[in-house]
Structure 1
Amino acid sequence: MDHKATAARNVLAQILADETAEPKALPLSLLEGITKNFSDELEIGRGGFAVVYKGELDDKEVAVKRLSKAYMHETEFDREIECLMRAKHKNVVRFLGYCDDRQRNMERYDEKLIMADVNQRLFCFEYIPKGSLDKYISTTI
């Protein structure tokens, strides 16, 4: 593991350990690493706009929400981060960080090769081990 990846892991570990720590920008490589490259075996939830994975960070676990590519405009994504950073309550899952990764990739479109921006947007939350809220609500009602 290189120095940058180790530093990113340490930052996330510090945020997890300190409940007063502010969420931070996290590199895509870290979130890929702790979810085993978004492995199907670590998928813990799925919806119309995102897939949620369990991330394993040493002896701690986090939830990584990977948004679908067309889900949010940049302004909406920024506002979502702002809202998540402000939501601090004992009954709200703690927001740990976010990732807004952009890469230019050569892609095929109408049988032509074009250079396209590929955005990956993710949120990282504290992991709650009892499953998703929708399953909890449906079993208690």
Structure 2
Amino acid sequence: MAVAANQVSRYGLHPLHAFLLAGAVPLFLGALLSDIAYASSYQIQWSNFASWLIAGGLVFGACSLLWAVIDLVRAGRHERRPLVYALLLLATWVLGFVNALVHARDAWASMPAGLVLSAVVVVLAGAATWIGFSRLGGAA
């Protein structure tokens, strides 16, 4: 049984980890699209949507980051991919948190910084997801 658990850690993501990782991307992407909608329409509700979507993305991202740190501790010293993966998730979460703080301000005051931060967070979350799921194809 220990061999099977080790293979999941080395060769792919646990299904729950994959679910949490894949859940953060659409939430952050939805926040970016809401920011774009706010920038073009100035309807304050779009900024509220973005705030809630960022909060959801942070919850999923924190769970994925915790799992990545556990995998990093369990990984060997010669494996670089778990370190890069964990650092990308950490950068995503930290910038996502800053983005949440920016969106906590007045809707008018959150632009254009909120829009730029949302775009950067989406790119980082996409890169982390790409690296996380690329572990499915072979050895880490």
Higher relative contact order (CA 8 A, sep 6+): 2
TM exceeding 0.5: no
Identify, as 1 or 2, the structure richer in strand. Answer: 1
